[in-house]
Amino acid sequence: LFRVFKKTSGNGHIALYLGKRDFVDHVDSVEVVDGVVKVDPSGLNGRKVFVYLACAFRYGSEDLDVIGLSFRRDIWIQYVQVYPPVDGNATKSPMQESLLKKVGEQGCPFSFKMPTNLPCSVSLQPGPNDAGKACGVDFEVKAYLANTASNPDEVIEKKDTCRLMIRKIQYAPANNKSGPKADISKQFMMTDKPVNLEASLEKEIYYHGDPITVTVKVKNETSKVVKKIRVSVEQLTNVALYSSDTYTKTVCSEEFGETINANSTFEKSFQITPLLSNNKEKRDQIPPMQGIIVSYKVKVTLMVSGGGDVTVELPLTLMSPKPAGECTFNNLNV
């Protein structure tokens, strides 16, 4: 059996049905958002029934919308008319066929194909004194009664609408590749030769909460001494409204008391583990924005005697694994 998500309008004339609320982004394609709207034609009064799927950025409380302030910006939106039907011969998905069996003859199917360049669902961690819905990118499926799909002058009452929030998510691929590698050579004043630093990750993708292994190789051709090695993970949040800004936070940092003497070599692997539980109180003031792109990087820094650091950076991909036992709709018993 599969779970059905349902929301009915205040007037009871339309009801929105979805078979799931998480839709996977496979990078080169996104799962189709398909569902059914149950329509009672007797209460339409000549109006039509539309459904839209919107990707939007919300950066304020919904409560403030009622006083004429909109804290939501649409990134992408698509409309379809479901009643009267305009394409009665469209092929129905297995999910829609099952929903129609439940809904009956008043069911009207719809589907949306999201472009691959939309951001995934994400929310900013609220502060301890923040109230209301968290800021972030969300996806909304909304059915409503109207004369036209998107006339800004037409007033659509809340009782004539019903909506469900969905998520666009990504899972780590089953096959992991070898990790990135980077190197740098830095020459200090009064020295003829450099300090050579190379860092690498053992794999391309790590799961959230897993330890990250960083292999460090150093060839110190100078007369200076490396006193410590710092390994850190930084989170970069790129936000945009009319311009693009990037906010950087160190989410994990550890120093290792490794001494690398003059004219010597060194090789060792270090492990660090960035955890959400250690970062719940870290936040910046972020202005209103239209989209969020979150990325990570590993920084390896050699702290050299006499001042001066040698730093190399590696791109880091953090993802969630596909849940165990998850299967496609076609494998479910409905």
Residues of the chain falling short of pLDDT 70: 1, 59-71, 88, 124-134, 239-245, 276-292, 324-334
On the question of a common fold for 5-170 and 181-319, the answer reads yes
Give tens-digit pLDDT for 43-71. 898 999 999 999 988 765 555 555 555 56
- Phi, psi angle pair for 7, to nearest 5°: -140, 130
Contact of 195 with 310, CB cutoff 8 Å: yes
Q: Which CATH class is domain 181-319?
A: mainly beta
Q: What is this structure's pTM?
A: 0.68
Could you give the dihedral angle defined by the CA atoms of residues 114, 115, 118 and 121, in that order, rounded to the nearest 10 degrees?
Answer: 30
Closest CA to 92 of 110, 107, 105, 79: 110
- Using the 8-state DSSP alphabet, how is residue 95 labeled? H
Task: Sketch the domain layout of the chain as residue ranges.
Answer: 5-170, 181-319
- The reported pLDDT for the residue numbered 332 is 31
Identity of residue 66: V
- The reported pLDDT for the residue numbered 242 is 44
- The reported pLDDT for the residue numbered 295 is 86
Contact of 70 with 154, CB cutoff 8 Å: no
CATH dotted code for 5-170: 2.60.40.840
